[in-house]
Amino acid sequence: MAVNDRRRTDTGVLLEQASRIQTLNEISRVVSSTLNLRTLYDTIYEQVGRVMDTTQFFIALHRPERNAIDIAYQQEGGVVYVDQEVEFGTGMTTVVIEHGMSVLFRTEDEFDEFLQTHGLPAPLVGDRDSASGIFVPLNTGNRTIGAMTVQSERQCAYTEDDVQTLAVIASQAAVAIENARLYQRSQESVAQMEALLRAAQSILGTLDLRNVLDSILTGMREVMPYYFAAVLLPDHSKGHLDIAGTVGPLDPTQRETMRIPFGEGVTGTVFCSGEVLLCDDVRECEEYIDHGIREVLCEVAVPLKRGDTVVGVLDVERDSVGAFSQADLDLLTLCASQAAIAIENARLFTEQQRRVFELQSIQSIVQKLTPLHDVPAIAAVINCELKQLIDYHSCRLFLLDRQHDVLVPILLEGSTQPELRVKLGMGVAGWIAQFGRSVIVTDSLNDPRGTQIPGTPVRAESIMGAPLIYEGRVQGVITLSKLGVHQFDQNALRLLEIIAAQTAIALDRSRLYDELRPEAVTDELTKLYNRRYLLERFKEERSRALRNGHSLVAMMLDIDRFKTVNDTYGHDAGDVVLRELALIVRAVVRAEDIVARYGGEEFCVLLPEISADNAERVADRLRLMIARHAMPASAGVDGISVSIGLATLQSDDGGMELFSRADLAMYKVKHAGGDRVCVVSEDAFRFTEGGRDLVLSDEQHLA
């Protein structure tokens, strides 16, 4: 293969890599766009099929509760099979799930050898024999939920690049599947809850907990007068009852701050025992806790029960001794039964609404992260969007520098936080990075991991954090903090872990993009930008020039009689000429000018914010520098000349007209003999040389 052709082939490979990155971004966005499981499986299959052979395709999910593998989706020969089940521990998929590893086999012999090495039987899924295939795990954070497989009837149908590509898709697919499964379960729970609500409509007509509580207390008062009543609901994480609703003379501050520990007082005792407790005279009742209402002399507390579970306590008090009869107790018990149903239904409804909101918020975050490649931009999205799900005061994101065993903070634009690097094992973030586990620190002052930042006030705060894990390795840490103790619960930690998994994927995608980006936009031979990058920058510069009223000039250069160099001295000599020319152009033009190899021996320089006269002077100076430059011996020729065309952006240019005009002007020079500059303006062509306009003969114009 000729050298220039080989270079062009290498450039094609780089373009293909860039295209693959863009395709993966598109696939991630499409895969994240649905919460319907069947639609999601079809979408994953279609998207994988964009980049590799999917003659046979499987999505297998681990069902540990049944010790089985659910072949949730199988596409083979145009036929779709769903919900097949095989025993866990009996095949290749089990190995992939247990070890979280990817497997590539290029031939049937490699596949058979792998089965024999691991003592595995022949595969049980699918009717067609495959000659090559890839197995990759479906990972969500540090958990493997299943495996994805593509197989082909052709040998060597896949490469290591395909394994990496499928692994990236599988990571996004795993999160999408988990989200869809969670959403499906949520929808099923909502449907079940709605059936319960229809049965409860005769009891209460609202699902708002505040309205439910008000209706219970005010409705009960109409049939059984009382002096004070309250509904108390448990906070299991803190071990006490909170006053959720009251009617009567209780100070609002008391209502907000009063906490009844489980097992203490009348209501705390009833919550633990599940039995009615009557105090005919509170002055003689050991369980009674004086809450400052002197008029109260008699109290009864009734458990709010759903089955055998106590979900709260109904407390009623009167201002006379022995004020409750057996009929009152029976009525209170009936009210408590109705109240328990209404409260639990309202709680379930609120919970399901919250879960749906959480899933929608997570989906929104994933969609916003998918197109991002810039690490600070990813961090900014997380910091902004996470507040929809979790209440916190401060969010910190760190990347793990494994070479120095430190966590490096990702600082947001305008951040005033100190740029403190955290050693592995130090503080909450360092502990998370070292052990790869999520954690809730309920009180930073009483936990050895709650290190104090020098120069900040000493104060108690709650800290919660999760590792950013991708492909089984800790990549970084995310922590949230909030003033006060016991500010985070397990549900908040669950949400943080989901977002941490998405963040890890986004950050790794950013890393891969950064690694491949320079190669994708650079011409390998000349080390100048390639045509693809030039056109990307042109769109930005054109928009900026038209918006700000600035000029933009395009300069096209083509080596005169370059074919003679290649034909006479060989393509190696031609490559030397191209590299030398690239060095000269880069040395002459300004740092802000964009220099690219446009194709073959043709180069393009985009000059922003320059006058037409100055652009002509630059072009002529460049022409002279090239003509006077002594080529190295390996170039075969002593020197070269170039034809240069100049064009200026017009206000009505809507596309690539600027390049077309400059290219046409350059060809005018070549037809006139080369080694000149031609400026095109309003479809008129003007030749210059050494700063002077030239008048060409008819023969030169028609050459």
In CATH, what number is assigned to the domain containing residue 671? Answer: 3.30.70.270
Query: Does residue 363 lie within any of the structural domains?
Result: no
Asked if 613 and 686 sit in the same domain, the reply is: yes
pLDDT digits (tens, 9 = 90+) for 561-601: 999 999 999 999 999 999 999 999 999 999 899 999 998 89
Is residue 159 domain-shared with residue 47, that is, in the same domain?
yes
Residue 199 lies inside a defined structural domain of this protein: no
pLDDT above 70 (res 298) = yes
Last residue of a domain, one of 115, 149, 184: 184
* Shared domain check, 541 and 461: no
Q: Is residue 597 part of a domain?
A: yes
536 plus 674 within the same structural domain: yes
* Shared domain check, 466 and 600: no
Cβ neighbours for 32, distance < 8 A, ≥ 6 positions apart: 172, 175, 176, 363, 366, 367, 370
Domain-embedded: residue 31: yes
pLDDT at 699: 46
Please give the positions annotated as active site: 601
Q: Of 326, 352, 378, which residue is a domain's last?
A: 352
Confidence class of residue 206 from pLDDT cuts 50, 70 and 90? low
pLDDT at 178: 86
Residue 267 inside a domain? The answer is yes
Q: Report the range of poorest mean pLDDT among 25-34, 61-70, 436-445.
A: 25-34
* pLDDT at 288 (0 to 100): 87
If you average pLDDT over every residue of the chain, what do you get? Answer: 83
Q: Is the pLDDT confidence value at 700 over 80?
A: no
Same domain, yes or no: 320 and 450: no
| pTM for the predicted model, two decimal places | 0.44
Q: How many domains does the chain have?
A: 4
548 and 479 co-located in one domain? no
66 pLDDT exceeds 50? Answer: yes
Give yes or no: residues 537 and 670 share one domain. Answer: yes
pLDDT of 343 strictly over 90 = no
543 and 409 housed in the same domain? no
> What's the domain range around 330?
209-352
Q: What's the CATH code of the domain at 83?
A: 3.30.450.40
Q: Where are the alpha helices (DSSP H) in 201-296?
A: 209-223, 252-257, 265-273
In a domain, 110, yes or no: yes
Q: Is pLDDT larger for residue 15 or for residue 577? A: 577
Q: Is the pLDDT score of 650 beyond 50?
A: yes
- E strands present in 142-289: 143-152, 228-235, 240-247, 259-261, 277-279
Query: Cα(256)–Cα(233) distance, rounded to whole angstroms?
Result: 13
Tell whether 524 is covered by a domain. no
User: Which is higher by pLDDT, 247 or 252?
Assistant: 247
Q: What is the mean pLDDT of residues 123-129?
A: 67
Check whether residue 299 and residue 403 sit in a common domain: no
- Checking if the pLDDT of 703 tops 50, the result is no
Q: Do 508 and 613 lie in a common domain?
A: no
Asked if 239 and 172 sit in the same domain, the reply is: no
Distance CA 433, CA 402 (A): 10
Q: Band the pLDDT of 249: cuts 50, 70, 90.
A: confident
Rounded CA-CA distance 633/258 in Å is: 92
Q: H-helix or E-strand containing 191?
A: helix 160-200
pLDDT digits (tens, 9 = 90+) for 485-507: 888 988 889 999 998 998 888 88
| Mean pLDDT, range 141-146, rounded to an integer | 85
- Kindly report the number of other CB atoms within 10 A of residue 300's CB atom: 23
Query: Is 362 part of any domain?
Result: no
* Mean pLDDT on 265-271: 92
Contact 149, 60 (CB under 8 A): yes
Least confidently predicted of 36-40, 88-92, 441-445: 88-92
